């Protein structure tokens, strides 16, 4: 797995139910626009506002729409271990390209041993030989990091299973440390702002929210690996980072498609205000 992956936005209907058919169509659009693969049910997908059954229905719709399963990484990290196991098992049996697994994110100040056991238990209980796990490091949100020591233990205990990581910390020194400590480990950065730096260090690519609205340009930057294309995608990213990111992305998709229901988010997230929409349009 390498390249540009979009963590796919989740469309809702007016009753705030996820819309499987629109979700599947959007997945196909993102692949057509240049994404190498897709990450479903991460932060940008509002996954932790979705029930287990809702995630399963959305995944089924994407597969039934003909999206190749090997182009999907499925977010399976849940607060409850049995839920993580159930989603991980489903993704593996569907022959998806991998799962993206959060550390335990409710209890804080947990030990490295606790983080390690959380991942190990999920892998062991899933019991699927086809499973490929990508760790999800986003400490500014989860408040639980994934230390190098934990990664090393997991790679030793589960060779060929623990395949890589999404480092959404924004700290490239942390990313570089992973790359240098674990050759061959597939490291994705969580923002295209760090794409070129990651590639130059041997990283796999990026899993970036902005790929929902700027996939062609980010894909060009991945292929060309030049300072010029990096600067171009940095400008777009900066425009969205001025605002609540998920709401701004949904606003952009709504404007592009003419479908105002794309603006809908599940609480506690809310849509952009009129003033914020103006800021987005002004760039």
Q: Give the residue numbers annotated as catalytic, written as ranges.
A: 43, 106, 136, 166
Q: Name the nearest CA neighbour of 184 among 169, 198, 204.
A: 204
Please give the backbone phi and psi of residue 2, each rounded to the nearest 5 degrees, phi first.
-160, 170
**Tokens for 150?**
């934990």
Region label for 199, one of left (φ > 0), alpha (ψ between -120 and 50) or beta (otherwise): alpha
Asked whether 133 and 158 are in contact (CB, 8 A), the reply is yes
Q: What's 69's DSSP letter?
A: G
- What stretches of 49-111 show up as alpha helix (H) in DSSP? 52-64, 81-93
CA triple 49-53-54, angle to 5 deg: 50
Q: Is the peptide bond before 268 cis (omega within 30 degrees of 0)?
A: yes
Q: Name the nearest CA neighbour of 186 among 222, 209, 162, 217.
A: 162
Asked whether 166 and 134 are in contact (CB, 8 A), the reply is yes
Quickly count: other Cβ atoms within 10 Å of residue 229's Cβ.
19
């Amino acid at each position: 797995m390498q390249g540009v992956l979009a963590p796919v936005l989740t469309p809702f209907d007016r009753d705030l139910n996820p819309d499987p058919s629109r979700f599947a169509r959007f997945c196909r659009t993102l692949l057509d626009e240049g994404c190498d693969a897709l990450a479903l049910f991460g932060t940008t997908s509002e996954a932790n506002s979705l029930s287990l059954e809702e995630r399963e229905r959305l995944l089924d719709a994407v597969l039934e729409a003909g999206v190749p399963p090997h182009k999907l990484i499925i977010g399976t990290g849940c607060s409850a271990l049995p839920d993580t196991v159930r989603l991980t098992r489903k993704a593996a049996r569907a022959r998806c390209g991998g799962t993206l697994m959060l550390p335990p994110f409710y209890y804080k100040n947990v030990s490295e041993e606790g983080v390690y056991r959380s991942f190990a238990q999920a892998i062991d209980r899933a019991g699927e030989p086809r499973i490929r796990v990508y760790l999800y490091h986003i400490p500014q949100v989860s408040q639980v990091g994934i230390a190098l020591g934990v990664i090393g233990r997991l790679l030793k205990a589960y060779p060929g299973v623990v395949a890589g990581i999404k480092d959404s910390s924004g700290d490239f020194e942390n990313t570089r440390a992973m790359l240098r400590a674990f050759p061959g480990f597939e490291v994705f950065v969580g923002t295209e702002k760090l794409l070129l730096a990651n590639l130059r260090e041997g990283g796999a690519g990026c899993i970036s929210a902005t790929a929902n609205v700027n996939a062609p340009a980010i894909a060009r930057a991945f292929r060309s690996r030049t300072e010029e294309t990096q600067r171009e995608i940095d400008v777009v990213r900066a425009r969205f980072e001025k605002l609540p990111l998920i709401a701004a992305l949904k606003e952009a998709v709504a404007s592009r498609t003419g479908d105002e229901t794309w603006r809908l988010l599940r609480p506690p997230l809310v849509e952009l205000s009129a003033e914020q929409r103006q800021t987005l349009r002004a760039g």
